Amino acid sequence: MAVIKAADAPRFELPGIEFTGLAAPSRGSADLCTWRITVAPGVDSAHHTIDRDEVFMITSGTLRITPDGEELSAGDAVIVPAGDPIALRNAGTEPATAYIAIRAGFTPKAADGTVIPTPPWAC
């Protein structure tokens, strides 16, 4: 069994988005990756795709996950099928948080098809 204490979980940042690494191969989970995101108000990210289904579970605030998706709020979940575009948008005035789950070993790609290295929160 592997335990990841909140105080010890690794944190990573992209502009306006904080990632807190939870389950990942380097933290004892061979098959599943999970992390928490905190998205600042006003964030509207460029889209990318992933070659595996990705599940987002909103825990606070409001968040759009896909470019044409609906606004989601606490308690909502969305499954983004492999290959569909993902673009985070927080149009609210408060930070939004969500937990994400995806099979380990996924490959993300930028909007132009360029392969993006596996992010550190999922390694």
Q: Residue 20: its pLDDT value, please? A: 98
Residue 83: inside a domain: yes
Residue 3: inside a domain: no
Residue 58: inside a domain: yes
Q: Residue 121: its pLDDT value, please? A: 94
What torsion, rounded to 10 degrees, do the Cα atoms 93, 40, 96, 108 define?
Answer: 140
Domain harbouring 73, CATH code: 2.60.120.10
Overall number of domains in the chain: 1
Q: Residue 41: its pLDDT value, please? A: 98
Q: Residue 96: its pLDDT value, please? A: 98
Q: What residues make up the domain containing 27? A: 17-114
Task: Output the tens digit of pLDDT for each of the chain's 123 residues.
Answer: 999 999 999 999 999 999 999 999 999 999 999 999 999 999 999 999 999 999 999 999 999 999 989 999 999 999 999 999 999 999 999 999 999 999 999 999 999 999 999 999 998
Tokens 């998205």 locate to 39
Residue 89: inside a domain: yes
Q: What angle do CA 114, 123, 116 make, to 5 degrees?
A: 5
Q: Residue 104: its pLDDT value, please? A: 96
Residue 62: inside a domain: yes
Residue 74: inside a domain: yes
Token reading at 113: 């098809």
Q: Residue 120: its pLDDT value, please? A: 93
